[in-house]
Structure 1
Amino acid sequence: METNEQAKAKGGKRRRVPIVCAVVAVVLVCAGGGFYVWHNQPSFCNAICHEPMDYYVDGYYGEGDAAHAQLAVAHQQEGVTCLQCHEATLEAQVNEGTAWVSGAFETNADGSLEPQLITADKQQCATAGCHDWNDVVAATENWDGQAGVNPHRSHQGKAIDCSNCHSVHGQSVMYCNTCHSWEVPEGWSSPAK
């Protein structure tokens, strides 16, 4: 038979279980929220994967070789984070994690990742809240003082996209100068002919 003191002890334990469960749940929710916030920061990308992500995070903050940071820094200054352009799907993250753990990724001489069919087109860059395509076209009318010339209204149409010229993590290239001899913006290069 149970004594009065044993019954009180059991009742106290029963009351503590929901409290302990609630505290554990709150801690897990806070930890999950904190991880989610950190995951959305550029520093997350190179916290574990220093090689090769330091190159990109340094460029985003304008550190290291400034030539690779031009557009990354401009995005950082506008408050645009990496994940606003690089969608972090579960499949992509599993593939990236597997490649990093196995060392199955290639880097260029400058330490950056070898591009893997990554392009930036009008659909990605000229979406609501990002670049307004009409403003971009208007800003480059009569390029290099030549009436009717506009690199953003190319005679090649959809054959070229934003990343043919603009490189967020590298030096931008005046793609038009593959054939033309137009003025090259400061910090850009011309393609080899």
Structure 2
Amino acid sequence: MDNVENEVREAEEAKNQEGKADAQAEPHGKRRSLRLNRKTVILCVIVGLIAAVGVGAYKWHETPEFCATVCHTPMDEAYLNTLYANPYEAAVDKWGNEVSKADAMLASKHGAMGKTCMDCHVPAIEEQITEGLEWIQGDYYNPLSERDLARLVAYRGVGETEFCLNENCHNITKSDLTNETADQARNPHSWHHSEYDCSDCHKGHRASIMVCTQCHEDSEVPQGWLTWEEGQNLEHQYMSWNDEQFLAGTSSGE
């Protein structure tokens, strides 16, 4: 009888000991789980912050201020002012010359439509590497050398006309463009001079030039624009010493 009672008592004590062990182990398990969850939260926060900084940096890279701050010293005044100029008011070009109506500069007209530097100066990795090296070495002109359409499309695999006339920019054909200006005495878009490109007349950061006036004095010159002779004088004054396109005898168009 005593043996049976002892066995029962031992069994109950063993059961009680197991219960105590489980009770002690349970809080430890909870603390461990809580500790793991806290680490996960911290990791997620860090990843989120890195992602937010990356997105912010990418968006900043797309803004004109990025160009002025990080890369090109002359960008802040010489170029950004033409981009932000009211297209219906007088402004100054990248060289500091007065332009009686700012929409004579493509930068002003495009800026008013919400366009930025990157819409025309599409970043290409080869071009960015070249410009980055030039920037580090100080091997660039101030103001920068101009870029005609041939140079703007050099890294992009598109034709010079397609750079402007496409579904994302001016979604019209050459024929459409010719018809739009057909009422002028001298249609500037008649394309009978096939050697001319859009950038020969339309300039980005200085007054555009009515090239037709080189031969046709009765050509209509929009407000703010220059005649061909005025454009030549300006280019000789500001470009003859620093622009490879000018020195090569070709037209330039930024």
TM exceeding 0.5 = yes
Is the contact made by 1:45 and 1:57 (CA closer than 8 Å) also made in structure 2?
A: no
Displacement of 1:167 after TM fit?
A: 0.3
Aligned length, in residue pairs: 182
CA pair 86-79 structure 1, distance change in 2 beyond 3 A: same
Deviations 1:46-91 (A, max 9, x none): 1223522121112100186153773211101111222121111222
CA pair 117-104 structure 1, distance change in 2 beyond 3 A: farther
Q: Name the structure 2 match of 1:74.
A: 109
CA pair 73-19 structure 1, distance change in 2 beyond 3 A: same
User: More displaced, 33-42 or 47-56?
Assistant: 47-56
Give, in whole Å, the separation in 2 of the partners of 1:115 and 1:56: 12
Structure 2 gaps, min length 5: 1-23, 94-98, 153-159, 233-254
The residue matched to 1:80 in structure 2 has which SS? coil
Displacement of 1:116 after TM fit?
A: 4.6
Give, in whole Å, the separation in 1 of the partners of 2:201 and 2:81: 22
Structure 1 gaps, min length 5: none
1:85 to 120, 132, 151: 120
Q: Name the structure 2 match of 1:185.
A: 222
Q: Within the alignment, does 1:43 sit opposite 2:65 as a pair?
A: yes
Q: Within the alignment, does 1:129 sit opposite 2:168 as a pair?
A: yes
Q: Which has the larger radius of gyration?
A: 2
Given the two structures, how large is their TM-score scaled by the length of structure 2?
0.62
| Counterpart residue identity of residue 143, structure 1 | Q
Q: Name the structure 2 match of 1:65.
A: 92
Give, in whole Å, the separation in 2 of the partners of 1:46 and 1:103: 15
Q: Name the structure 2 match of 1:151.
A: 188
| Counterpart residue identity of residue 98, structure 1 | L
2:135 to 97, 100, 106: 100
Q: Percent same amino acid at aligned positions?
A: 32
CA pair 85-52 structure 1, distance change in 2 beyond 3 A: same
Given the two structures, how large is their TM-score scaled by the length of structure 1?
0.79
